[in-house]
A and B are shown apart, each in its own frame.
Chain A
């Protein structure tokens, strides 16, 4: 019987020849991840298990990125709890402020997640690593605690939805963000509940690694367990100077079973904007009407990579942010920040009147560095526009790609790059 990529990776990590959707398996993990919000709870639970050591100090990644640089005393205490745990067990992949990045930008960059891996993270956007052909999924802190002790996790083998995107005739301003928002708009925020989404088709093959990471990142926004791409030459090129251990390319068999198949045409997809308060409330850019904005955020684990910053800079170069708008730009990692600096992008941003921040999840989850007041509206390249996500429960978030966010910052309203004169 044929298997999907997801089924093959799960079978390999459960020591089995094959697995079937619906089965519960106990699987070996290649990496476990937590951040400054989820690690403290995981550490509390880990300490209850009664083991002397973590399963492997080289296969745990701890990244202080949510409320860091520490936004208040309580956040500082949480970051310290994680730091002390990392020291106590000699965790190799602990990344301190100044050397860190937003976890899902950082781990692929550092070569810590590789094709064929099984990765769990106490963060819902752990599904990002599916872009590299890994099985990666978000779990809670207790799952993470158990995995840090045993190196294993229990999983239900998901059914797979196949999403085919055809065409290579790109609208210049359409990217991975628009493809994934378009899909979520079609299938809804629970359209892939408990399931895997496998992305394929000529558009997907042509998509850059940064674009694939953006798409896989938001699989959770359709309720999916994981999003996954068959690794290819682009994946290999991305990993060339990053991977420090062997990895394995898996691909789905011809006769693999899919519970659903969706097929889209790139030609039908224009830049997308998700209106409040769910990522499924998408509209094509041409139908957004007049929505004035108070803030624009460009960054996050969804769109904080170099290609995103280049797109924003292309729109902002030689222009000014509207006097009614605060534009906040957050490179995803220190390496991306430095690259943007070398390419002159940071200069473009500052000359345009943007605030540029050290890497942090900050405003995306309403933590710090750009909280909205009552009634304020933001356009944001982040992943969620739930009620109160970025601040006051009566504020609003409109999700878009980086070029649309940049154009909107210039015009003071939701707008496309082509409207900027």
Chain B
């Protein structure tokens, strides 16, 4: 499925406290979390982000806490994908486990500007900047993680395994 939307731009080392501050972690309701997503980094973001829009950030996106509330908040806010120079490892796992599309591409992270129109072909890791008429390649996703994505996340993958008695 093609992902298409306007870009929101963030810097390096966007941490999980910025994505969803701990003051809101007394709930795990995705809709409630979405209402505060990235509000300390950009107060306009949770108010104005529209379904399918794309977060573009620098290195080490999602560093800090293991809180799955961070990718959950982004997903529930309707974000279509996150593109970054690199991802912190727990955030990276969590995004695959819950089915939030993420793409590692230093070139895309550098070139894409706020409000550029972006199209992503997840199957081939191709990122198109329709505003600048440019194309970028994302780092290949390991085959096991492609299996996870195909299964619809880790829980569905494990359910299948349990059901088959593996």
Contacts and interface: CB of A to CB of B under 8 A. Distances in A.
A37 B67 contact: yes
B26 A139 contact: no
A150 B157 CA distance: 12
A370 interface: no
Interface residues of A, number: 51
Nearest to B95: A140
* Interface size grouping (class) on chain B: 35 or more
Contacts of A40: 28
Given A150-B158, A278-B13, A386-B17, A141 B68 contact: yes
A138 B154 contact: no
A278 to B, nearest CB: 6
Interface in B54-103: 59-60, 63-69, 71-72, 86, 88-90, 93-94, 97-98
A140 B17 contact: no
A75 B155 CA distance: 25
B37 to A, nearest CB: 14
Nearest to A71: B26
Contacts of B94: 140, 142-143
A311 to B, nearest CB: 26
A316 interface: no
Nearest to A365: B22
B162 A49 contact: yes
Contacts of B25: 37, 66-67, 365, 367
Nearest to B88: A223
A139 B21 CA distance: 18
Interface string A152-163: 001010000000
Contacts of B88: 190, 193, 223
**Interface core residue of B72, B97, B142, B153 (most chain A CB under 10 Å):** B97
Interface in A95-144: 121-124, 126, 138-143
B162 A150 contact: yes
Contacts of A126: 66
B17 to A, nearest CB: 5
Interface in B139-166: 142, 144, 153-155, 158-159, 161-163
A386 B27 contact: no
**Interface core residue of B15, B22, B66, B72 (most chain A CB under 10 Å):** B66
A139 B98 CA distance: 13
A139 B93 contact: yes
Interface of B: 13, 15, 17-18, 21-23, 25-28, 40-41, 59-60, 63-69, 71-72, 86, 88-90, 93-94, 97-98, 142, 144, 153-155, 158-159, 161-163
The 6 closest A-B pairs by CB, nearest first: A140-B94, A74-B26, A140-B68, A190-B60, A142-B97, A365-B22
Given A143-B94, A145-B155, 5 more contacts: A24-B144, A48-B159, A150-B158, A190-B59, A384-B17
30 contacts: A24-B142, A37-B22, A49-B159, A50-B159, A51-B162, A67-B26, A72-B26, A123-B66, A124-B90, A126-B66, A140-B66, A140-B67, A140-B71, A142-B154, A146-B154, A146-B158, A150-B161, A156-B142, A190-B60, A190-B63, A190-B86, A194-B89, A365-B25, A366-B23, A367-B22, A367-B23, A384-B15, A388-B18, A389-B22, A393-B40
